[in-house]
Amino acid sequence: MSKYTENEENKENRKNKEKTLTRRKLITRAGALGGILLTGCDTDFYVPPKVRPGLMGIADTLTMASQRLLLSGQQLVQEHDISEITKNFPVWNQSNPEDEEYQRLRRGNYVDWQLPVTGLVNQPRSFSLEELKRFPQQTQITSHICEQGWSAIAQWIGAQLLHVLEAAGGVKPEARYVMIDAYGGWYEGYDFFDVVHPQTILAYGMNGKDLPLGNGAPVRLRVERHCGYKQLKFIKSIQVVSSVEGFGRGTGGLNSDFGFHWYAGA
Amino acid sequence: MKHQSRIQKSKEWVYRHSLNARICHWITVVSFVYLLLSGIMIFLQFPELYWGKVGFQGYPAVFRLSDWGLSWEEADALGNRRWGRSYHYLFAWIFISNGVIYLGWNLWQKKFYKKMLPSRDELRLSHLKADLGNHVRFRAAKGNAARHYNVLQKISYLMVLFLLFPFMLVSGLAQMPAFTAISPELIDLFGGRQTARTLHVVATVILVLFVLVHVIEVFVAGAVNQIRAMITGNYAIQAEDEK
């Protein structure tokens, strides 16, 4: 039927085994990255990189801190049955970036696509699509929740972002955020609370097939505990940084540059 | 005729609303207005409602604003999510903090028990019928009866405080991706996040109707006296006409 179905069994196993990540396991996972230690007193996880002034900033922080506190077990999001997958999954916002470079890659069926992982990693390097597919495959059937109000269900297949960073030698102790650039000019920042989550994946497959163009081919991010605008499509490069200064308006992402919350869990 | 009635009536002042109730009432008013407006601004940019786990443009909807004369594009132009989402969460926090203080204080002071719990007598069908009759005929309570909330008032206040407000909160949380990761039971409780969204809107409409009736009743009972009581605490009671 499809090229990715052989992993359905693995998925079942994983689902039964890993209902939630224990704290210990989480620290082990983070330890595998290198310097990052996820401890309860790391205030970074409770406050967005740039707090808005006034009452609005207090509300943002209350929202993020309360949810992060309740998520400290790194619970997995609910998965759906394969029969619940939405036909005609909507294509929203950017559907085909006009960048010349992107169009060249697309015509070449993304064979030349390379994902550079740079910044505060111990061994900066690039990954081809084939290399990404060689990582342990993570498959999840989840709800895509747009902040506008719509939602749809799809199966996503990809490599855990954590594994990819590990393969780049792990991160340096001062690493705080992972900035991801996309074709078409979008960029978004993520903290390590989300990076270590097992359902945070660089997805190259959708519903058993290669990721379609409109959904962000060849690779998009799935960061399941956030609204749709954090699920960056058409990924171009990854940079690990200690601060979001110097990216756009310095709020940590294009959406927050536009006035949306950086933290999109609510 | 005018001075005739003036002379006959005697006024008595009663302390009706505690400082806590007054402050919380007006914070609720301001946050409700902001929550409603920001909610409308969010809704206008996706003016359809669905039932179940999924819903998007093109999916069978249970409500479409375009069926009511406002096209998708027109609604979208009127809405503003950036403003709406920011203010919706800001005032949700204010509303919830205020609500927790209000509920906590009044539970501790047994005010709900003393002032809002209908007595067995009041719950009798004949009493309910009589009270409903007064409401329908816009006849406000006078004299001793004006010292207390009437039974329909008690029931509606309790429903709003303990049913509708908590329902708004829970159906709001059920739409948040982080919160449903914390508590997936929320989605199952509603049978899907689109159902939660739809019921969030339905409960909003019920709340708006409540506010409308509430404001009409304020005018029926005497707007100046009612609003003054909610500011100073003191409520003037007119003695019953004795003939």
pLDDT digits (tens, 9 = 90+) for A217-266: 999 999 999 999 999 999 999 999 999 999 999 999 999 999 999 999 99
Do B58 and A225 make contact, defined as CB atoms within 8 angstroms?
no
Handedness of CA A261, B182, B57, B45 (dihedral sign): negative
Do B93 and A71 make contact, defined as CB atoms within 8 angstroms?
no
User: For residue B234, how many other CB atoms are within 10 A of its CB?
Assistant: 13
Within a domain: A262: no
How many structural domains are present in chain A?
A: 1
Q: Is B91 exposed, middle or buried (0-12, 13-18, 19+ CB in 10 A)?
A: buried
Do B89 and A78 make contact, defined as CB atoms within 8 angstroms?
no
Collapse the DSSP code of A209 into the 3-class scheme (helix H, G, I; strand E, B; otherwise coil) and give the result: strand
CA distance A264 to A248: 18
Give the mutation candidate from A18, A85, A151, A222 for the B interface (greatest B CB count, under 10 A): A151
Q: Please name each of the domains of chain B with its CATH number.
A: 14-236 (1.20.950.20)
Identify which of A179, A182, A193, A180 has the alpha carbon closest to the alpha carbon of residue A44: A193
Which residue in B has a C-alpha nearest to residue A68's C-alpha? B178
B-chain residues near A224 (CB < 8 A): 177, 181
- pLDDT grade, residue A166 (50/70/90)? very high
Which residue in B has a C-alpha nearest to residue A90's C-alpha? B56
Percent of chain A with pLDDT over 90: 80
- pLDDT at position B143: 81
CA distance A61 to A159: 30
Quick check: B168 and B200 in contact, CB under 8 A?
yes
- CA distances to A171, A196, B56, B91, B237 from A36, rounded to whole Å, are 7, 10, 39, 36, 68
Specify the CATH number for the domain of residue A148.
Answer: 3.90.420.10
Which residue in A has a C-alpha nearest to residue B197's C-alpha? A149
Which residue in B has a C-alpha nearest to residue A229's C-alpha? B177
Within a domain: A16: yes
Mean model confidence pLDDT for chain A: 89
Do A225 and B89 make contact, defined as CB atoms within 8 angstroms?
no
Identify which of A260, A186, A231, A249 has the alpha carbon closest to the alpha carbon of residue A77: A231
What is the token pair recorded at A248? Answer: 């756009």
Do B178 and A67 make contact, defined as CB atoms within 8 angstroms?
yes
A-chain residues near B189 (CB < 8 A): none
Question: How close A124 gets to chain B, by Cα (Å)?
Answer: 32
CA distance B190 to B85: 22
Give the mutation candidate from B85, B173, B193 for the A interface (greatest A CB count, under 10 A): B85
- CA distances to A8, A203, B58 from A212, rounded to whole Å, are 20, 11, 19
Question: How close A261 gets to chain B, by Cα (Å)?
Answer: 8
Range of the domain at A127: 5-257
CA distance B223 to B234: 13
E strand or H helix that includes residue A182: strand A177-182
User: What are the contacts of B145-151 at 24+ separation with CB within 8 A?
Assistant: B146/B221, B146/B235, B146/B237, B146/B238, B147/B14, B147/B237, B148/B115, B149/B115, B149/B116, B151/B118, B151/B122, B151/B123, B151/B127
Which residue in B has a C-alpha nearest to residue A256's C-alpha? B82
CA distance A198 to A135: 13
Helices marked H in A41-188 — which ranges?
54-70, 100-107, 129-133, 161-167
Do B90 and A55 make contact, defined as CB atoms within 8 angstroms?
yes
Question: How close A101 gets to chain B, by Cα (Å)?
Answer: 31
Quick check: A262 and A253 in contact, CB under 8 A?
yes
- pLDDT at position A32: 57
User: For residue B136, how many other CB atoms are within 10 A of its CB?
Assistant: 8
- pLDDT at position B25: 97
Residue that is written with structure tokens 């829970």 in the block: B170
Q: Does B118 reach chain A within 8 Å, measured CB to CB? A: no
Q: Does B115 reach chain A within 8 Å, measured CB to CB? A: no
- Per-residue pLDDT of A16-66, as tens digits, reads 444 444 444 555 566 656 545 554 446 779 999 999 999 999 999 999 999
A-chain residues near B81 (CB < 8 A): 147-148, 260
Do B187 and A78 make contact, defined as CB atoms within 8 angstroms?
yes
Do B89 and A266 make contact, defined as CB atoms within 8 angstroms?
yes
DSSP string, chain B: -HHHHHHH--EEEEE-S-HHHHHHHHHHHHHHHHHHHHHHHHHHTS-EE--SS-B-TTS--SEEGGGGT--HHHHHHH--HHHHHHHHHHHHHHHHHHHHHHHHHHHHTTHIIIIISPPTTTTSHHHHHHHHHHHHTT----GGGGGS--HHHHHHHHHIIIIIHHHHHHHHHTT-HHHHHH-THHHHHHTSHHHHHHHHHHHHHHHHHHHHHHHHHHHHH-HHHHHHHHHHSEEEEEPPP--
Phi, then psi, of B192 in degrees rounded to 5: 135, 150
Q: What is the mean pLDDT of each run of 10 residues along chain B (243 residues)?
A: 52 91 97 98 98 96 96 96 95 97 92 89 92 89 86 95 97 97 94 97 98 95 94 87 47
Within a domain: A167: yes
Collapse the DSSP code of A56 into the 3-class scheme (helix H, G, I; strand E, B; otherwise coil) and give the result: helix
Within a domain: A106: yes
A129: which residues sit within 8 A by CB, 6+ positions away? A110, A111, A113, A204, A218, A219
Residue that is written with structure tokens 């992972």 in the block: A178
Within a domain: A242: yes
Do B182 and A264 make contact, defined as CB atoms within 8 angstroms?
no
Question: How close B89 gets to chain A, by Cα (Å)?
Answer: 7
Q: Does A88 reach chain B within 8 Å, measured CB to CB? A: yes
Within a domain: A185: yes
Q: Does A37 reach chain B within 8 Å, measured CB to CB? A: no
Question: How close B118 gets to chain A, by Cα (Å)?
Answer: 37
Question: How close A79 gets to chain B, by Cα (Å)?
Answer: 10
User: What are the contacts of B159-168 at 24+ separation with CB within 8 A?
Assistant: B160/B207, B160/B210, B161/B103, B161/B112, B164/B203, B164/B206, B164/B207, B164/B210, B165/B99, B167/B199, B167/B203, B168/B200, B168/B203, B168/B204, B168/B207
ipTM of the complex in this document: 0.89
CA distance A157 to A85: 14
